[in-house]
Structure 1
Amino acid sequence: MTTTDKYIPQQERPKLSEVCVYGGKQSDEFAGIRYENGSLKVYFPFGYSKPIDDEKEYRKDILNLISVLAAYSKESKSVDQNRQLNEDEVQFPIHAYLHVFNYFLNFGYYIENEMTYKRASSGKINWPRTIKQIRPKIAGERPNESVVYLDFITKRSSNNENEIITQIHQYCVYESYEKVGCLFGYFRPKKPTIPFNAKMFAAILKNKISRTFNEKHILLFRNMLDIVCYMGKRNDNRKASFGTNDFEYVWEGLIDDVFGVKKSEKEKYYPHCAWHISDKDSDAEWNETKRTALRPDTIMLSANNDAKIFVLDAKYYQYGENRESKRLPGTGSIIKQIAYAEFIEAMRQQKPKIAQGDIYNAFILPYATTFSESKYPMENFGYADCNWKNTEAKTYHKIYGILLDVRSIMHRHPNHSDKDIAELAARIEGRI
C-alpha cells in the first residue's frame, strides 16, 4: 500500500524554520516542544546555535532535542534532588507520536486479515485441526461402526476486530499528524471516522498486544496505547508539551556524561561531614549524615595518561550569550570548587589509586557559535580566584571559565570522547 498518493498535501503547514525558536530564554525558561491551539513550537535552550537554512538540519535539531530531553527525564535518571522534566510535561508521550506517524509513512495503515479458530458445531471446518484436537464418537456396531464428529474446529476471519484496530490506528495517525506531523512533511492523512473512546480503544489494544507475536506490531500497538491513555487523561487535547523549565539540570548531565568519569568512580571524590556527639548513644545516629555529601558536578581525568584531575561545575548562566549581563558564578560556588580540590588533594595521600597529577578547577557555561558540525567550539574567557589564596601556590586556586557550544555537545551526547576531553583540558590549562 502506498502512503502518499491517497493524502492531500497541506501547503499551509509551517516550515520547520518557522517552528523553531533559537536564542534567549523564554519567559518561563522552557526548553522543549509545545503544541497549543493547532500551533507547534520548538524552543531550544539559550546557547544553541541556529543551523543553516536547511529543513533537514532543523529536523535533526528537533529530534536531537527530543532525544536529549528524554535521556534526562525523571524516568531515565534517578538523581537525588533533580527536578529535570516537569511532571505535567513529561507525560506527553512524544516518542509514541513519532513512532506511530513514522510507521504510517513507511507501511501505511495497519491492516491484517487474521484467521481465528474455535470449537463449534457449524462453520467452515478445518479438518487437520479437528482430527488433532477433537475426539470422535463411534457410531453403530461392528462390523458397520463408523467415526462421527459432533464438534469441529472451525475457522473464521477476525476482520471485524482488525477493522477496528485499523480505525484506531487511523485515529492515532491523525492525532500524531496534528501534533508532530510537520516534522515529517506536508501530507495530511484522512480524518478518522471512529469517535474517540479511550476505554474501548485501550481494551482492544491490550487484547491485541496479548495475542500478537510480531515484535514490530507489538511496538506499534504499545505506542498507540500510550497515545490513547494520554488522550484519555487530558481535559484539553489542544495543548501538549514535552520539555523542561529547568534545563540547567540537563546541562549538568550533558557535561558529566560527555566529560566525566563514571558515577561509581566519582563517589570517591565526594567530601563528607559528620557530627560526633559526646553522648555515645547518639553518635551512630549523627554519623548517618555522612550520606549527605557535597557533590561536584563532574570529575574529568586527563586522557593523555598524565594523571591530571579536573573538577568541573556546569553553570547554565547566560553570560555566553549576553556578556554585558556579568552574571557569573558567585563566591559560594568559587569556594566550593576550591574545597573540592583540597579534599581530593588530602584524600589521595590516603588512597594512592586516586590520580596524582595536578588538580584544576573550571566552570563550564553555555554559548552559541556559528553553525558547524565539524567543530567542537570552546572558549576560555577568564578565571576566578579568592584574595586569601595564593593563585601561584596551587593550580586549583584559579577556577577557569570555559564557554562550550550547546549545539555541539547535545549532538555528541551520549558519547564519551578522549579527544574532546583532551581539548577541554588544554583549554583549562591555557595550552590553547
Structure 2
Amino acid sequence: MSNEFKEVTLSKPLSEYCRNATNREGDTFVGIKSEIIGDKHEVNVYFPIGYKISEKEEDVRDEILDLISVLQAYNDKQSRVSQITADQVLKTVRFPVQAYFRVIHYYLQNDYYKENEEVYVPGTSGPVNMRETINKIQPIVQKSGFVFPNLMVRKNSDTDKHLITEINKYCVYESFIKMGWIYHFKLPQPAEVKNPNLKVYKSVLQQKLENANNDTLKQLFQSMLAIIDFRNSADDPEEFYFGTNNFEYIWEKLIDETYGIKEKDYYFPRTTWRLDFGERHNPALEPDSIMVTNEHICVLDAKYYKYGHSGKPSDLPRSTSINKQITYAEYIAENSKFEKERGEGKDVLNAFLMPFSKANNIFGTSDNYFSIGEAVAGWKHSTRDYERVQGILVDVKTLIANSTRPNRQEIKNLSKAIEESLKKNKDMESER
C-alpha cells in the first residue's frame, strides 16, 4: 500500500469524494469505487440523481452510510447487471462492506482482539487444570482411589493467542484502508507480518468460529473471515466496486418497501389463451407497487427518470408506461374481484414517482413530495380518477435515509400528495 494512497484516503473532506451520477453517456454508477488510475489511487462515492449532497462532514458521513445501507439491502443480481467489466462485477458481488464496518466498530470499542480466556480440552500432554478436570472428566473408581482417564489440558498456546491478534490487526488495517476514510480516523499501524499466510489465517478463523459461543465474537470472526476471503480472491485488493449501474431497480424496491403492500400480486392483471387444445396462462402484468390506505388503492410506478433534475418533458414516462398504468388501475377499478375493496369506499388512484431534491430544484419547493402534473391517454375520456396518472416527485435523500419500511406516516403523506395533485389538475382542467 503506497503512502500516497494513505494520504488521499485520509486528508480530504468527505464531500470531495462525492458527486451525483448524471445518467448521461454511461454515467450511471451509484455506489463506491476504489480505483487505481495511472499512478494515483482514487476513492469516489456516487449518489443517485436528485440527491443533494451535504457539505458538513458529519452529514456527508451519514449520507454515505445511508447509501451503503440501501445498496447492501437491495443490490441484488438484477441491480448488478452492469456496464463495468465482468471482473469489476465480481468485486462488487464479493465486497463484504458490512464485515469491514463490524471490524472497525469492534476495534474502536475494544481495541485489537486479544484472547484472555484459556481453552482446555481432554488430553494427556500440556498444562493441566485440575479444577476443569474434576468438573468435566468422569473418574474411574479403583481400590487405590479415583483415577482420571483424561486430564483437561490447555489447548491454546501463547503462539495461538498471538496469531489471532495478528489476524485481527491485519483485518483492522484492511478495514481502515477500505472504509476507514469515511470516519477520518487515524490509520492504524499495519500488521507486523509483511507476507501473511492467508490460508493459515482462514483456517484459524474457521476454528475460532466453530468454538465461539459469544454472538459478538461470532460476528467478529465471521467478518474477519469475509475480509480474508475477499483479500484472497481479489487480483488487486486495493480496487473494489460496491454499487450498481442500474439504480432504477433499487429505486423501485425503495418505493415498494416504503409505500407498498407485500401481497401486491393479488392486484396483478392476468391473461389467458383459451386454445382449441387447452389453455395457456400468460405471466401477469406486474405494477411496481400497490399502496393501500383507508381511502385509496394507489397504483405506483417508480421511475428513476431525470425530470426532477432537468425539468425537460423528454425525461418523463412515455406512452407505453402511461397506458400500462391505466390498465393496471382499470383492472382494480372495474373487476368484480375487488367489489369488497370498492364497497369500503376506496378510490383507485394512479401515480408515477420520480426522484428529485427538495433542497435544490428548479420548482421552488421544499416539500418531500411535489406534483408536476398528470398523464392522460387519448383513448380514454379521463373522467375516472384512475385514468389520470399523477406525476409526483419524491425527495430521494429522504427516501434513502428512511429506515422504517413500510412507513405509515410516509404512506399517509404520499397518499395526500397524490390526492391533492389530482384535485389541482381537475381544477386546472375545469378552468380551461
Q: TM-score over 0.5 for the alignment? A: yes
SS in 1 for 2:317: coil
- 1:231 to 1:10, Cα distance in 2 relative to 1, 3 A: closer
1:364 to 348, 353, 369: 353
Q: Hey, what's the Cα distance between the residues in 2 that align with 1:329 and 1:103? A: 47
Aligned to 1:270: 268
Structure 2 counterpart SS, 1:275: strand
Q: 1:382 aligns with which of 373, 376, 397?
A: 373
Task: Quote the residue 2:3 is aligned against.
Answer: none
Sort the Cα spacing of 1:122 and 1:14 in 2 relative to 1 into closer, same or farther, 3 A. Answer: same
Is 1:105 aligned with 2:89?
A: no
Q: Aligned letter for 2:74?
A: Y
SS of the residue aligned with 1:171? helix
1:411 aligns with 401
For residues 140-219 of structure 1, the aligned pairs below 5 Å read: 152-155=151-154, 157-194=156-193, 195-219=195-219
Q: Does 1:314 align with 2:302?
A: yes
Q: 1:3 is matched with which residue?
A: none
- Quickly say closer, same or farther: Cα 1:361–1:59, change in 2 above 3 A: same
| SS of equivalent to 1:110 | coil
1:36 counterpart = 2:27 = no
Report which stretch shifted further, 87-96 or 175-184.
87-96
Report deviation, 1:136: 6.3
Pairing partner for 1:128 from 126, 131, 134? 131
Query: Cα 1:270–1:193, aligned 2, differ >3 Å: closer, same or farther?
Result: same
Structure 1 residue 134: Cα displacement: 6.6
Distance 2:384 2:216 in 1: 59
Aligned residues: 397
Under a length normalisation based on structure 1, what TM-score does the superposition of the two structures give? Answer: 0.84
Deviation of the 1:406 alpha carbon: 0.4
Determine which structure has the larger helix proportion and give its number: 2
Alignment of 1:215-254 (within 5 A): 215-254=215-254
Paired letter, 1:254: L
User: 2:62 is matched with which residue?
Assistant: 60
How far 1:422 sits from its partner (Å)?
2.9
Instruction: Determine which structure has more spread, i.e. the larger CA radius of gyration.
Output: 1
What fraction of aligned residue pairs are identical, expressed as a percent? 34
Change beyond 3 A, Cα 1:127–1:45? same
* Structure 1: gaps of 5 or more residues: 1-7, 75-81, 140-144
User: Cα 1:351–1:196, aligned 2, differ >3 Å: closer, same or farther?
Assistant: farther
Map 1:291-306 to 2 at 5 A. 292-302=283-293, 305-306=294-295
Worse overlay, 348-357 or 56-65: 348-357
AA at the equivalent of 1:397: E
Using the alignment, how far apart are the partners of 2:291 and 2:142 within structure 1?
Answer: 83
Alpha carbons 2:370, 2:392 under 8 Å: kept: yes
Q: Partner residue of 1:5?
A: none
Using a 3 Å threshold, how does the CA distance of structure 1 residues 202 and 148 change in structure 2: closer, same or farther? closer
Q: Which residue of 1 aligns with 2:84?
A: none
Greater displacement, 210-219 / 19-28? 19-28
Q: What SS is found at the alignment partner of 1:188?
A: coil
Alpha-carbon distance in 2 for matches of 1:272, 1:146: 82
The aligned residue for residue 430 of structure 2 is none
1:426 matched to 2:416: yes
> How far, CA to CA, are the matches of 2:297 and 2:224 in structure 1?
48
Give unmatched runs, 5+ long, in structure 2: 1-5, 82-88, 361-365, 425-432
* Code of the aligned partner of 2:78: R
Deviations 1:232-253 (A, max 9, x none): 1111112101111110011111
Match in the other structure for 1:324: 312
Tell me if the contact between 1:13 and 1:186 (Cα under 8 Å) persists in the aligned partners: no
- The answer as to whether partners of 2:74 and 2:253 remain within 8 angstroms in 1 is yes
What letter corresponds to residue 235 of structure 1 in structure 2? D
Query: Which residue is equivalent to 2:384?
Result: 394
Give, in angstroms, the shift of residue 148 of structure 1. 7.2
CA positional deviation for 1:349: 5.7
- Kindly provide the CA deviation profile for residues 158-185 of structure 1, in whole angstroms up to 9, marking residues without a partner as x: 3211211111111111111111111122
- Residues 62 and 348 (structure 1 numbering): CA distance in 2 closer, same or farther, change over 3 Å? farther
Amino acid at match of 1:84: S
Structure 2 residue matching 1:272: 3-state secondary structure: coil
Change (3 A) 1:182 1:135: same
Structure 1: how far apart are the matches of 2:149 and 2:352?
Answer: 83
State the one-letter code of the partner of 2:177. Answer: E
Superposition deviation, residue 370 in structure 1: 1.1
TM-score scaled by structure 2? 0.84
Q: Is residue 78 of structure 2 the alignment partner of residue 83 of structure 1?
A: yes
